Amino acid sequence: MPRLEIDIIITVVLTVVLVVLSYFLGLQSVYFKLQLNPIIMQIFGTLLGLSIASFGIVATLIPNLPKKILEHDLMNIILHRFLILIKAEVLVLGLGFFIFLFSGEISLPLILLQVALSYFSFISIFYAGLYIYYIFKYVVSHPRREAGAP
């Protein structure tokens, strides 16, 4: 059974490893040369909208799910993961605006933080999709009641 704490730790460790690798492979020169900030902001603006829509779909399914499924720990994990994902995407967009405002040396830590949150968001998207798969698999394996049956 997946646990949110372990998944968050795995996500943070993978994010740190990817940021360190990116830094030593020259991320900052590529970032400035290709002007990646507007591209990242467009991507994460779209991902934020998709994440909110996905969260809305999951939230609208909640009243129709049986009580046994709603009491399952996986539902709580899914809702928390979506909230973490949406917060990370909002932070990526916010940092993108700050990077537009600041230039020079102060922007490098902001760029690394934006890249770290980007990696964190992409890994969180994977986990959110995996959790939704688990809950739908659980729903399908759960016996269905016939219409009108008590």
User: Which region among 52-56, 103-107, 134-138 has the lowest average model confidence (pLDDT)?
Assistant: 103-107
Of 41-45, 78-82, 83-87, least confident by mean pLDDT is 78-82
- pLDDT tens track for 44-72: 999 999 999 988 888 887 777 777 777 77
Provide the percentage of residues in the chain whose pLDDT is more than 90: 36
Task: Check if the beta carbon of residue 89 is closer than 8 Å to that of residue 47.
Answer: yes
pLDDT at position 120: 94
Task: Read off the tokens for 81.
Answer: 């993961």
For residue 93, pLDDT beyond 70: yes
CA 105 distance to own-chain centroid: 29
Determine the 3-state secondary structure of 85 from DSSP. helix
What is the torsion angle, in degrees rounded to the nearest 10, for the CA atoms of residue 131, residue 136, residue 141 and residue 146? 150
* Contact of 51 with 87, CB cutoff 8 Å: no
Q: Output the pLDDT for position 47.
A: 93
Q: Terminal CA-to-CA distance of the chain, rounded, Å?
A: 31
Surface-to-core class of residue 52, CB atoms within 10 Å of its CB (0-12 exposed, 13-18 middle, 19+ buried): middle
Q: Give the mean pLDDT of 121-149.
A: 76
